[in-house]
Amino acid sequence: MTALAAVFVSSLVFGGEAQYQDIRYMLDETHLTAEVIQNPKMSGELVLPAEIKVGQNTYRVTSIGDKAFKGSKGLTSIVLPKTIERVWRSAFEGTGIMTNKANWKNGYLMIDSVLIATDKSIKPRFVVPAGTRVIAAGAFMGNKTVERVDLPKSVTRIDHETFKDCKNLQKVDIEDNITSIGEEAFAGCGIANNKNKWRKGALIIDNCLVATNDELPAKYVYKGKKPLRMIAERAFANRKNLKSVTIPDGHTLIPVAAFYQCENLTTVIIPESVREVGNFAFYGCGMLKNAMLPKDLKALGAGAFYGCGNLREQVLSDSIEVIERATFFNCHNIKHLTLPARLRRIDDGAFAGCSKLEELELPRTLVHLGDQAFAGCATLRTMAVPSGIASLPKEVFTGCTRLYRVDLPDGLYAIGDGAFDGCLALERIAIPMNTFRIGVRAFHNCQHLRGIVLVDHIHMIEEGAFMECKMLEEVVLPASLKELGKSAFAQCVNLKKVQLNEPLKSIGDAAFSNCLALREVQWTDSLRYVGAEAFINCKNLFEPVLSPLVDVGKNAFKGCKQ
């Protein structure tokens, strides 16, 4: 895993957390949904809200995650909103809700039309009560009593590990109401252990492909008597021998992680009927070259082509409005890509590591750029940021070593931390008039940056903002600036002249350290603090005589002329 990948994986897995009315949530800013995460010390009666407001956004509460309330012995009851779409059985393990036998009926635990769990007192043929909306992930897991399960029309999903290790389970009718099947939903159950249910390395239940094994042929084409209705999540995951696959006509979804880590997969034939590609669908398919997406595709999930290093081209449907997190992360052979005309969002790391991407035109409709969106796009040369972008996010162009021109919109108010860090070819950039913040290491190591005008709206130039900009020769600090961050212009070895302006009061530690060519600084009467080593080793600068009101840090002018 590259350093860039290591940095980014954590944001993919964990995202942003928030606490609302003493409950912790994981937020999905793309879909504006929230999942309840680990809250091990809850007690009493709890009413979950249907939505929460965090900052300027309102999030629907749709999921109760793995181990969310596990071990909360004092939690005696909970009210679930109708917005809940997914629950894990493990969320309630060890809680007063699950340990109280009075909450169980005929071998199952039900909370607000959500089937949470079953036990050995269940009947061999279990009819899930009518009106049940959700069956928890793992609800039947390990149940050795159940032999058949009848699902009501109200249930639309068989979730992760729902029937895992149900050794005696022989029948579950998967009818048209079921629209998705989670990973390992039937792993180790009686059905999966029946060899007659498998066809050429694929487990087929009611014309749904549930799982595969190592007997799967290298070139897989479904040839059942009836059309294949559905593919389960992770159905082909880790099939190292798989080289090509044809998804049958009529399918509208390629599910989550369907081809996860199929390292030798080179070709996928995707029918025009597909409207959605799930999260991580082709994650880690490093040999994948051909996977042309349908012209009417509406959604492309997070990490869908993460690490598909041999993918050379892709056409994106104009119906797509969001490119989610890490969708094309480390697709380093893609050179050209046309973005959808109605695109609104490019999320974190969407094109990070696309080192051969030479050009990309951002549509005018774009209103959001995520952190590291183009990080490591080493051959990207120019970029025009649309007017809808109010702030450049963290490390958005870091490591774009050949980027020499960037046009920023007039309304841009902030340049985020590390936004242009390591953009070696960047020579000039016009800072918009409304910009008030230049972030930490924003232009660090822009070794060819020669011309920059710091406009008078700038209030913050953060730590290391222009550190190691070796070709920078002159700087006029804006009249709006009160504090200059640590190491802001450190090691700008060709910087000759600096003009300080009112109302600057503070120069941070090492702000101009090792500026070897610095000869002239125009001081200001407003100055009250010069940080430690602020001008250390500026050997061509005469040590100034400053007002007694100025506090001078240790070694501030060490190495300067006397």
Q: What is the pLDDT of residues 16-32, one digit of tens each?
A: 899 999 899 999 988 99
Share of the chain above pLDDT 70, in %: 97
DSSP-derived 3-state class of residue 198: strand
Q: Which helix (H) or strand (E) holds 14?
A: helix 3-14
User: Minimal CA–CA distance to 380: which of 416, 341, 409, 354?
Assistant: 354
Domain ranges of the chain: 3-181
pLDDT for the residue numbered 224: 83
Neighbour-count burial of 105, counting CB atoms closer than 10 A to its CB (0-12 exposed, 13-18 middle, 19+ buried) = exposed
Record the tokens describing residue 260, joined without a space: 């996860």
Which pLDDT score is estimated for 6?
41
- 78, 43 in Cβ contact below 8 A? no
Supply 386's token pair: 């649309």
Q: What is the pLDDT of residue 41?
A: 86
Do 491 and 517 touch, CB atoms closer than 8 A? no
A 10 A CB-CB count for 191 gives 17
Query: pLDDT digits over 462-516, tens only?
Result: 999 999 999 999 999 999 999 999 999 999 999 999 999 999 999 999 999 999 9
CB neighbours of 23 closer than 8 A, spacing ≥ 6?
36, 39, 42, 46, 48
With beta carbons less than 8 A apart as the criterion, state whether 152 and 131 touch: yes
Decide: 484 and 511 in contact? Cβ < 8 Å.
Answer: yes
> What is the C-alpha to C-alpha distance for residues 474 and 495, in angstroms, rounded to an integer?
6
Q: What is the pLDDT of residues 153-205, one digit of tens each?
A: 999 999 999 999 999 999 999 999 999 999 999 999 999 999 989 999 999 99
Write the pLDDT tens digit of every residue in 271-287.
999 999 999 999 999 99
Reported confidence tier of residue 13, pLDDT bands at 50, 70, 90: very low
- Strands 529-530 and 551-552, by their bridges, are parallel
pLDDT given for residue 119 in this prediction: 96
Alpha-carbon gap, residue 183 to 162, rounded angstroms: 9
* Ranges of H-type helices in 51-116: 96-99
* Cis amide prior to 386 (ω within 30 degrees): no
Q: In the 8-state DSSP scheme, what is residue 290?
A: B
Options 3.80.10.10, 3.40.605.10, 3.40.718.10, 2.60.40.1930; CATH of 3-181: 3.80.10.10
pLDDT digits (tens, 9 = 90+) for 71-92: 999 999 999 999 999 999 999 9
Distance from C-alpha of 298 to C-alpha of 322, rounded to nearest angstrom: 9
Written as one letter, the residue type at 67 is K
- pLDDT of 337 reads 87
- Pair 153, 129: CB distance under 8 Å: no
The pLDDT score that the predictor gives to residue 229 is: 92
Determine phi and psi for 415, rounding to 5 degrees: -110, 115
pTM of the predicted model as reported, rounded to 2 decimal places: 0.90
Q: How high is the pLDDT of residue 12?
A: 41
CA separation for the pair 71, 94 (Å, rounded): 5
Alpha carbons 146 and 149: distance in angstroms, whole number: 7
Q: Cα separation of 502 and 481, whole Å?
A: 8
pLDDT of residue 359: 87
Q: Is the pLDDT of residue 3 over 50?
A: no
370 has pLDDT over 60:
yes
- What whole-number distance in Å separates Cα of residue 66 and Cα of residue 521? 59
How many Å apart are CA 160 and CA 157, to the nearest integer? 9
pLDDT value of residue 9: 39
The structure tokens listed for 60 are 């629907």
pLDDT tens sequence across 405-428:
999 999 999 999 999 999 999 999
Q: What is the pLDDT of residues 43-72, one digit of tens each?
A: 999 999 999 999 889 999 999 999 999 999
Pairing outcome for strands 51-54 and 57-64: antiparallel
pLDDT number for residue 105: 95
Please give the mean pLDDT across all residues of the chain: 94
Dihedral sign for Cα 303, 308, 309, 315, please. Answer: negative
Q: Check: CB of residue 348 under 8 Å from CB of residue 373.
A: yes
